[in-house]
A = this chain, B = another copy of it.
Amino acid sequence: MSGSGVSRKARGSYGVQGAYVAGYGSVVGKLEGAGPLGAAFGEVWNDDLAGQTSWEEAERELWLAAIHQATKRADWDPTDPDLVLGGDLLDQLYSTNFSAREHHIPLAGLFSACASFTQAVGLASLLVAAGGPEKVLAGAASHHLAAERQFRFPVELGYQRAPTASWTATAAGVLAIGGARGPIAVRGVTLGRVVDRGSKNPMDLGTAMAPAAHDTLERHLSAFNRSLSDYDRVVTGDLGVVGSSILGELMGAPDGFEQIHDDCGRSLYHASQDTHNGGSGAGCAAAVFSGPVIQRMLAGDFRRVLLVATGALFSPTSYQQGESIPGIAHAVEFVRAWDVEKGGGV
């Protein structure tokens, strides 16, 4: 198993050789730190404003802290990375762009809402495996209070949340993707299509996104000729309680699917924390993967993981114009490199 490169498996699905997770970083807010995964994040903030004067500036600091962690763990100099790939939920990618004003690394900003993390990691892995950039930081961030006032209302209004509503996480996650051999390899990427089944309720995004997760998951399995049992874990993004249940139904075997399925949003908070459907936000899947999940891969608990981050592509304008909510999901397959060497590769 040597060399590097990219191979087309099917429309939108690509095999990857020679892209590794060289480092990882995750930062979360106070509420997320008090959740069941709290101890597994690289950094937990006590103050969600992080000493800044706005929530948007605080989100920029989430980005910078996650980049710092990932770069340090990869043993890269801060000036080493060739490229940052990533996005956030804010209009015109406020936090992604303004963090790039600080780190000075070439930037390719992207947006697929809460699927931005796998879009970033997927494209980063393809580019590194291609022999282009050697060191890429791929990530995403979101801040609860910046997102609330942009998409809904300032929380000071004290409005009531629907039982199916998700809670935008204050979180960022960044992976350092490099060509030098490491313990975890990226082995496959499937870029999602936009799927819209007509859901119009922005207080129930799990329902809006589950069909896109299903579409991408089925396409990935087919392209790589795999079945669900080939994975130790299929980790979805922000489907939460409601969307995970729908995805199980769509997969045709709810119980069997749940045996290997985790959802980042569903696992982020305790039920007692009253976030209803669970976590969401571009930083949710980013932080949960770049903290708790990758640590379990390094510990040997999971050998092959498929991460399917999901995004709801509505905007306040599209919603106010009466449009339904399109969904998208991008998948990235990770394998412990030890298993790759033993012949378990793609």
Point out the residue from B7, B134, B317 that lies within 8 Å of A8, measured CB to CB: B134
Tell me whether A109 and B108 are in contact in the complex, defined as CB-CB below 8 angstroms, given that A126-B130, A317-B94 are known contacts.
no
Q: Does A169 contact B (CB under 8 A)?
A: no
B residues less than 8 Å from A323 (CB atoms): 98
B residues less than 8 Å from A193 (CB atoms): 100, 104-107
Q: Does A265 contact B (CB under 8 A)?
A: no
B residues less than 8 Å from A341 (CB atoms): none
- Pair A133/B8 contact, Cβ less than 8 Å: yes
**Could you list which residues of chain A lie within 8 angstroms of chain B, going by C-beta atoms?**
5-8, 11-12, 14, 54, 56, 82-83, 87, 89-94, 97-98, 100-101, 104-113, 119, 123, 126-127, 129-134, 150, 191-194, 196, 313-318, 321, 323, 326, 328
Point out the residue from B54, B123, B313 that lies within 8 Å of A123, measured CB to CB: B123
Specify which of A92, A119, A191, A316 lies most central, judged by the most chain B CB atoms within 10 Å of its CB.
Answer: A92
Q: How far is the CA of A135 from the CA of B111 in the complex (A)?
A: 21
Copies held by the complex: 2
Q: A8-B134, A98-B326 are in contact. List 16 more A-B contacts (CB 8 A).
A: A6-B132, A8-B131, A12-B83, A56-B318, A56-B321, A92-B111, A92-B314, A100-B326, A101-B194, A101-B196, A105-B193, A106-B191, A106-B192, A107-B193, A107-B194, A126-B130
- Pair B113/A92 contact, Cβ less than 8 Å: yes
B residues less than 8 Å from A133 (CB atoms): 8, 12, 14
- Pair A110/B107 contact, Cβ less than 8 Å: no
Specify which of A8, A131, A194, A326 lies most central, judged by the most chain B CB atoms within 10 Å of its CB.
Answer: A194
Specify which of A87, A97, A112 lies most central, judged by the most chain B CB atoms within 10 Å of its CB.
Answer: A97
Specify which of A101, A132, A191 lies most central, judged by the most chain B CB atoms within 10 Å of its CB.
Answer: A132
Report the minimum CB–CB distance from A225 to chain B (whole Å). Answer: 18
